[in-house]
A and B are shown apart, each in its own frame.
Chain A
Amino acid sequence: DGGITQSPKYLFRKEGQNVTLSCEQNLNHDAMYWYRQDPGQGLRLIYYSQIVNDFQKGDIAEGYSVSREKKESFPLTVTSAQKNPTAFYLCASSIGKKEAFFGQGTRLTVV
């Protein structure tokens, strides 16, 4: 089945650590996105990529980094510079602007 796979589903980070969230898609979509979800805040765009080897900052990119070395993969690294990383992270992909498909999310908690 085609879709988007995010792993892990739950992730715990110690203060000062970098962690990487995985996102893989087999939909052959060019565009991929990372959103952060906090209660009552909706979804806020962190980074997006419209083509391999290219990506742009979204509204809340500080403290995050991404790479897009393959069409299928768009990993997100939450760095120690992100002061409040506890949140639900959603990866999505699309062809153009007609619809975005979402993964099941990764819940990151700082311990």
Chain B
Amino acid sequence: AQSVTQLDSQVPVFEEAPVELRCNYSSSVSVYLFWYVQYPNQGLQLLLKYLSGSTLVKGINGFEAEFNKSQTSFHLRKPSVHISDTAEYFCAVSDLTNQAGTALIFGKGTTLSVSS
């Protein structure tokens, strides 16, 4: 069964520094990949998604992610973070070979804490 591993549960960083949140998924022939952001006591908001095409995907709020099929990774990056980026970030995968359903499979999340 497909699974998602977010390698860091917490990432502290200073304002204006770069950040990378790491995500690996178990192997599959075809997948769609997603990053979502969650602010306290709110639902999830889509940051970006990879469906096909260019392996470098740009999203909202200056975030980008790179799909690496050989390493089964989809790491999220931002060159300069703001205090307002403090939130929980979830990586998710949709396994296109799974005929049983359309539900996304989520990692356990990474808490990004930006301080001044």
Q: Residues of A at under 8 Å CB distance from B?
A: 4, 6, 31, 33, 35, 40-43, 45, 48, 50, 56, 58, 88, 90, 92, 94, 96-105, 107
Given contacts A99-B34, A103-B43, contact A42 B102 (CB under 8 A): no
Decide if the interface of chain A is mainly helix, strand, loop or mixed.
Answer: strand
Residues of B with C-beta under 8 A to A31: 102-103
Is there contact, CB below 8 Å, between A50 and B43? no
Beyond the given A97-B32, A99-B34, could you list 13 further A-B residue pairs with CB under 8 A, ordered by the A residue number? A35-B106, A41-B108, A42-B108, A48-B103, A58-B103, A92-B44, A92-B104, A97-B104, A98-B94, A102-B43, A104-B42, A104-B43, A105-B41
User: Please, which residue of chain A has its CB at the minimum distance from the CB of B4?
Assistant: A42
Contact of A43 among B9, B49, B90, B96 (CB under 8 A): B90
Q: A48-B101, A48-B102, A50-B102 are in contact. Are A97 and B96 (CB under 8 A)?
A: yes
Query: Is residue B51 within 8 Å, beta carbon to beta carbon, of the partner chain?
Result: yes
CB distance from B14 to the nearest CB of A (A): 24
Q: How large is the interface on B (under 10, 10 to 19, 20 to 34, 35 or more residues)?
A: 20 to 34
The minimal Cβ–Cβ distance linking A93 to chain B, given in whole angstroms, is 10
Q: Which chain B residue lies CB-closest to A30?
A: B102
Contact status A42-B90, CB under 8 Å: yes
Q: A105, B103: Cβ atoms under 8 Å?
A: no
The interface residues of chain A lying within 8 Å CB-to-CB of B49 are 98-99
Return B56 CB to nearest CB of chain A, in Å: 19
Q: A105-B42, A107-B41 are contacts. A100–B108 as well, Cβ < 8 Å?
A: no
Question: Is the beta-carbon distance between A90 and B108 smaller than 8 angstroms?
Answer: no
